[in-house]
Amino acid sequence: MSVRQPADVFPRDFLFGAATAAYQIEGAAREGGRGPSIWDTFSHTPGKVLNGDTGDVADDHYHRLTDDLDLMAELGLESYRFSIAWPRIQATGTGPANAIGLDFYERLVDGLLERGIRPIATLYHWDLPQALGDLGGWTNRATSAAFADYAAIVGRSLGDRVHTWTTLNEPWCSAFLGYGAGVHAPGITDPVASVTAAHHLNLAHGLAIQSLRAEVGDQARFSVTLNMSHLKGQGHRADDAVRQIDGISTRIFLQPMLEGSYPDDVLADTAHLTDWAFVAPGDLEVIHQPLDVLGVNYYFPLTVRALHTSEADASNPGYPGAERIAFVEEPGPRTAMGWNIDPDGLEQLLVDLRTRYPEQPLMITENGAAFDDDLVDGVVDDQRRLDYLRDHVAAVQRAMRRGADVRGYQAWSLFDNFEWALGYSKRFGIVHVDYATQVRTPKASAHWYSELIRRRTLPA
Ligand code: IFM
């Protein structure tokens, strides 16, 4: 006789975990044979990162691995999503593997497994080896091939122990913040370069899945993580405004990956910029690989509107081709990033994905909030983050009741860390990090999250 779980209990195999990324927490930037990445260069360039912050030390996780693993176990995490720093494995992005770098991730993965925590490994969370950056980075097709070689190296050594492999984290940020808006490394502001980079990231994803599958076979699951928003339209031609932003931010990745084609409307919207000659015959077949899981990073909704003919073009360097679309500031509660808080947006996003790709399992690979925390007498009472997490987990549950096949939830982030161009000014962690002493203090949200994982149900 099967025992049915009550509808408000998360399934046993639903993975509750937390996420981080290498450059944001590891530090040890010049140790163990690690080569420089484009983020080392960018953060060391005056004026690029707030307060001149860099990832040189970050959370010093590289040296505190065992204590950090113990903390994850104390919190009861069922999974841990981390990224592998490509320049630790290949200092210049090509050539033989660096044994010291591989050893660090072997110790991380083995340490997770010893504690009963499933490893979810991301191959690329933005720290491209600088030597590849010097050759054009993601505008250079050769970078995609180099990425496949790197994937094979890592797959060969860790493949049998990683639960889920993720190729890229948020390729929109890599392509459009890195090569279009220039606010992320490598800091280039060229719309054509940004669209070219998007294609080479797609190609890298497909090639890496092929390499990983060849090395790992059926022993792991394979995925990619996209940042997605819930889009709302306003004003005249509201649907068109949503369509354009959705196209250049999400469907430019999702459709080639899951359907093997670029959206016609994205090709048309960008036709004045590029003829897409960088797409070679056969590329779309390579990009179109079956995915065991699609990773969803959700933080906020976005409202957009089409400009009237009397209005000047909008300045949207992260959205080439969408020059006639404006972003609308919505009232309502916001996080310290200025992002609107909208759990219903997550529910709707998941339901929409389920409608478009009914067979595709999903996982929330990032969700969380930055707030200005105070550490008082060893306690961080981050009620607003706790509320944010609780309301978004509840939204995931509602989406699951409406048919979305969601396999897990990874809170962003396990630790306060280096928030890219904003340096250490924004704290996303459920664990507070004192950057002067490196003392870790679980916040109220971490205690709440532990309890959720233990009970597997949201308190009424
Ligand atoms: O810190 C980032 C992370 O690296 C990628 N997703 C969004 C987070 C918050 O901005």
> What residue ranges define each of the domains in the chain, with the CATH number in brackets?
15-455 (3.20.20.80)
Burial 131-159 (b: 16+ CB within 10 A, else e): bbbeebbbbbbebbebbbbbbbbbbbbbb
For residue 380, how far is its CA from the centre of ligand 1 (angstroms)? 21
Q: Return the pLDDT at 346.
A: 98
Return the residue whose CA atom lies nearest to atom 9 of ligand 1. Answer: 419
Question: pTM for the full model?
Answer: 0.98
Look-up of token digits 């056969």: 282
Residue indicated by tokens 């009232």: 331
How big, in percent rounded to 5, are the helix, strand and coil portions of the chain? 40, 15, 40
352: number of Cβ within 10 Å: 16
Separation in Å, CA 400 to CA 7, 79, 362 = 10, 20, 10
Q: What is the Rg, in whole angstroms, of the alpha carbon atoms belonging to the chain?
A: 21
Helices (H) and strands (E) in the chain, counts: 17, 15
Let me know if 170 is a catalytic residue: yes
Look up 31 and say whether it is catalytic.
Answer: no
Question: Separation of 177 CA from ligand 1 center, angstroms?
Answer: 12
CA distance 212 to 223: 11
Tokens encoding 389: 């997490």
| CA distance readout (Å), 178 to 169, 183, 196, 227, 329 | 13, 6, 12, 15, 24
Residue from 338, 458, 433 nearest 380 by CA: 433
Residue of the CA atom closest to atom 2 of ligand 1: 419
What is the chain's pLDDT, residue by residue, as a tens digit (460 residues)?
445 566 689 999 999 999 999 999 999 999 999 999 999 999 999 999 999 999 999 999 999 999 999 999 999 999 999 999 999 999 999 999 999 999 999 999 999 999 999 999 999 999 999 999 999 999 999 999 999 999 999 999 999 899 999 999 999 999 999 999 999 999 999 999 999 999 999 999 999 999 999 999 988 999 999 999 999 999 999 999 999 999 999 999 999 999 999 999 999 999 999 999 999 999 999 999 999 999 999 999 999 999 999 999 999 999 999 999 999 999 999 999 999 999 999 999 999 999 999 999 999 999 999 999 999 999 999 999 999 999 999 999 999 999 999 999 999 999 999 999 999 999 999 999 999 999 999 999 999 999 999 999 997 6
What DSSP state is assigned to residue 211? H
**Contact (Cβ atoms closer than 8 angstroms) between residue 124 and residue 79:** no
The reply to whether ligand 1 has any atom less than 6 angstroms from the CB of 127 is no
Which one-letter DSSP state was computed for residue 341? P
Cis upstream peptide for 413 (omega within 30°): yes
pLDDT of residue 58: 99
In angstroms, what is the span from residue 36 Cα to ligand 1's centroid?
21
Closest ligand 1 atom to 169 CA: 5
Measured over the CA atoms of residue 362, residue 365, residue 371 and residue 376, the dihedral's sign is positive
Q: What b/e readout covers 422-454, taking b as 16+ CB neighbours within 10 angstroms?
A: bbbebbbbbbbbeeeebebbbbbbbebbbebbe
Residue of 34, 50, 169 whose CA lies nearest to 420? 50
Cβ atoms 289, 209 nearer than 8 A: yes
The DSSP line for 255-319 is HHHHHSS--HHHHHHTTTT---TT--TTHHHHH----SEEEEE---EEEEEEPPTTSPPP--TTS
Which value, to the nearest 10 degrees, does the dihedral of the CA atoms of residues 36, 44, 123, 151 take? -20
CA distance 139 to 198: 8
Residues 410 and 395: their CA atoms lie apart, in Å, by: 14
Residue indicated by tokens 């309890």? 451
Interval between CA 331 and ligand 1 midpoint (Å): 23
pLDDT of residue 218: 86
Tokens of 245: 């932003």
In the chain, the amino acid numbered 329 is E
Q: Count how many residues are written for the chain.
A: 460
- Taking the alpha carbons at both ends of the chain, their separation in whole angstroms is 29
**Cα 11 to chain centroid, rounded:** 24
Among residues 26, 215, 347, 366, which one is catalytic? 366
Pocket test for ligand 1, best of 420, 422, 424, 426 (most atoms within 8 A of CB): 420
